[in-house]
A = this chain, B = another copy of it.
Amino acid sequence: MQMQVVNSLKAHGLKVTPQRVTILSAIEKKGHANIDEIYKEAKTTNPTMSLATVYKNITSLIETKLLKEVAINNQKSKYELSKEPHSHLICKECGSLEDIDSNNLFTLNNDKIDFDIEEVELNIYGVCNKCKDKGTSKN
């Protein structure tokens, strides 16, 4: 079984159930996925999995910081495994989302911000190269 995922669950004090392993593996495979994509992918491994189980686990996996939500304009939120801070390129044509390393991407000059910063999220919307080439929509 996905030792990586199993250990991660244990480390975060969550019981290791096949459903959770399946859900996390599905997200890991997809990189970023919304509820429906996770559910669909998870069912290929565990066909009896209930959608309510996906919802509940997404919630607890986020609470325990194992997952991170990525809220996106004009789409359902996607979820990803927690990892190094990074930014996202989001295509307005096809909705695709990809990671982009934040190092050297931008410099935050937060000298004068009077706010306890926990997390900085940079989302860059535009047109991905695939869509730029095709000139057409939805791929």
Contact = CB atoms under 8 A, between A and B. Distances in A.
Interface residues of A, number: 36
Contacts of A118: 92, 125-127
19 contacts: A71-B75, A71-B77, A89-B115, A100-B113, A105-B110, A106-B108, A107-B107, A107-B109, A115-B129, A117-B124, A117-B125, A117-B126, A118-B125, A118-B127, A120-B124, A120-B125, A121-B122, A122-B122, A122-B123
Interface of A: 69-75, 77, 89, 92, 100, 104-110, 113-129, 132
A104 B107 CA distance: 10
Contacts of A126: 115-119
Contacts of A69: 73-74
Given A100-B113, A105-B110, A115-B127, 14 more contacts: A71-B71, A71-B72, A71-B73, A71-B75, A71-B77, A113-B124, A114-B129, A117-B125, A117-B126, A118-B126, A119-B126, A120-B122, A120-B125, A121-B125
Contacts of A123: 120-123
